[in-house]
Amino acid sequence: MKSNTTNMKSNTNYNTALATLVTVFFFWGFIAASNGVFIPFCKSYFHLDQFQSQLIDFAFYGAYYIGALLLFIVSAYVKTDILNKWGFKNGIIYGLLLSAIGAAIMIPAISSGSFSFILASLFVVALGFSLQQTSANPFAIALGEPATGSHRLNLAGGVNSFGTAIGPIVVAFALFGAATYSDDQIASINLSTVKILYLVVGALFLLAAGLFIFSKKLPQAKGDINFVQAPKAIKMLGFITLVLLVVFYFVFDQYRADNVDSNFIFQLMILALCLIVGGLLFSNFKAIKNPDGWGAMQYPQLVLGMLAIFTYVGVEVTIQSNLGELLKSEAFGGYSNSEIAPFISMYWGSLMIGRWAGAITVFNPGKTLKNALFVIVPYIAFGVVLFVNHISNNDISGLYLYGWSILLLIGGFFYGQEKPSKTLFIFGFLGVLSMLLGLFTDGTIALYSFMSGGLFCSIMWPSIFSLSIAGLGKYTSQGSAFLIMMILGGAIIPPIQGKLADIFSIHSSYWITVACFLYLMFFALKVKKILKSQGVNYDE
């Protein structure tokens, strides 16, 4: 009886902890998805080209890399894992407070009319998100069996995606109200409502922090505070960071000049990409020969997983960040900035659709009920996205047929059989097919194809994350920090696509998404073999 009582108490704490934890996932989605509307708006408002507009993603997702890297370097300096010393709960609280400061900075930034100041405020908001994510992801995995950690992340991701579905709508209303603006009229918009929005967002950050502070049943979920030194990894990451800063200094310097050399800028962006990929692969190559000083980088599943997170975040972000510009082209409807919110909402809603379905397993339904829910839940989520857009007075007539795309998602879930590597492979394959269909067609079919990328990205984060830290033991916390750094992909890949759009066309720039999904397919196959050789098999 005593044992049963203990288990019930443990389960109660688990449910309370998970319910509280998922609140922060909402904020990440709300702000990140809003960039899909904010980017094309800023392009018109500040008279930017497509590459410059993507610097919003560069500032936002670059902060994740800088934040996680600083946390890692400081931990190495004091020889204590700071995050584990704080506890994951406190890490989330500090991150929320930092994001609240960033939201407060946004108010004078908007008043100044400076695009650079706005980028800086977004950087601070995302810096807080970096700390929150570094804490929240291993926290979610720690709240149960490691092999089912991806299911809990799917549940949290479902809440995150609800934020992504309504974020573009709320920001579009804050920017445009109920009016329709042409590109020429954008510069005349009064941004006072956006300042109010960020004031409210900042208050919500503080409210969420208070929820964590006063939640007595929420455990700290601390790990081992002894920091595992990795001086060689620090040197490599420091070198990569230094060269990235130099590369982007020259990029920004070019844009201060009267004559911008597009080819030179594109070469710099490719150099940055090659540096990251090459640097990480070289690190693992050296670490396998002599693991001393490399820390978690001695594990090939982690290094390949770092590249997978980089690629996954990059493709997820770049599809929607450039979608607004695609929708403005005549072949894709010729929409204005104030008319694209429903499509951005549906793209991010696609992630919600997949993550809601992926979260079903968390509730342990019977096999028959579970199979039924795999069909029903995605369409419930689809209905939620349509309803949210409908009550916002958005035209949703062009979204009904998108329901057919959801059948592919459902088929992927049944084929994946809840096995992380198999599911990741099939969704990567479907991503490749959808991007190719979008590239070789135009109009509604191509638009649905590109938007369905959100469906196939929906379950990738938890699958990649759980596979990448599998078998790391004492290096798990360090590996988690490395993975969060690779959200940097959202800062690098969208500007590269933006430059491809400037050089060629916005439509043809989507070839970069094909390359991303192909790597994710490769990772799914490779990591399964690696883990199996280490005696770890999550697909069993």
pLDDT (0 to 100) of residue 447: 92
pLDDT (0 to 100) of residue 258: 52
pLDDT (0 to 100) of residue 12: 44
pLDDT (0 to 100) of residue 513: 97
Residue 448: pLDDT band by 50, 70, 90 thresholds? very high
Residue 356: pLDDT band by 50, 70, 90 thresholds? confident
Determine contact, residues 19/359, Cβ cutoff 8 Å: no
Residue 530: pLDDT band by 50, 70, 90 thresholds? very high
pLDDT (0 to 100) of residue 216: 65
pLDDT (0 to 100) of residue 288: 87
In the block, residue with structure tokens 């959801």: 406
From the CB of residue 465, how many other CB atoms can be counted at a distance below 10 Å?
A: 26
Residue 105: pLDDT band by 50, 70, 90 thresholds? very high
Between residues 524 and 357, the one the model is more confident about: 524
From the CB of residue 472, how many other CB atoms can be counted at a distance below 10 Å?
A: 18
pLDDT (0 to 100) of residue 1: 37
| Residue partners of 456: CB distance under 8 A and separation at least 6 | 354, 408, 409, 412, 427, 428, 430, 431, 434, 517
Determine contact, residues 238/230, Cβ cutoff 8 Å: no
What tokens were used for 348?
């991010």
Count Cα neighbours of 16 within 13 Å in the Cβ-side half-sphere.
15
| Residue partners of 511: CB distance under 8 A and separation at least 6 | 439, 500
For the residues 144-164, what does the mean pLDDT come to?
A: 68
Instruction: Classify each residue of 166-191 as buried b or exposed e, where b means 16 or more C-beta atoms within 10 Å of its C-beta.
Output: bbbbbbbbbbbeeeebebeebeebeb
The pTM for the full model equals: 0.82
pLDDT (0 to 100) of residue 394: 77
How many helices, marked H, and strands, marked E, lie in the chain? 22, 0
For the residues 167-175, what does the mean pLDDT come to?
A: 76
Q: Is the pLDDT of residue 50 over 60?
A: yes
Nearest in space to 61 (alpha carbons), one of 117, 109, 130:
130
**Residue 317 and residue 36: Cα distance in Å, rounded?**
9
Q: Is the pLDDT of residue 485 over 50?
A: yes
Between residues 240 and 180, the one the model is more confident about: 240
| Residue partners of 54: CB distance under 8 A and separation at least 6 | 39, 321, 322, 494, 495, 497, 498
pLDDT for 233-278, tens place per residue? 888 888 888 877 777 677 666 655 555 566 776 777 788 888 888 9
Judged by average pLDDT, the poorest of 38-52, 98-112, 296-310, 483-497 is 38-52
**Residue 38 and residue 52: Cα distance in Å, rounded?**
13
Determine contact, residues 56/119, Cβ cutoff 8 Å: yes
Between residues 290 and 227, the one the model is more confident about: 290
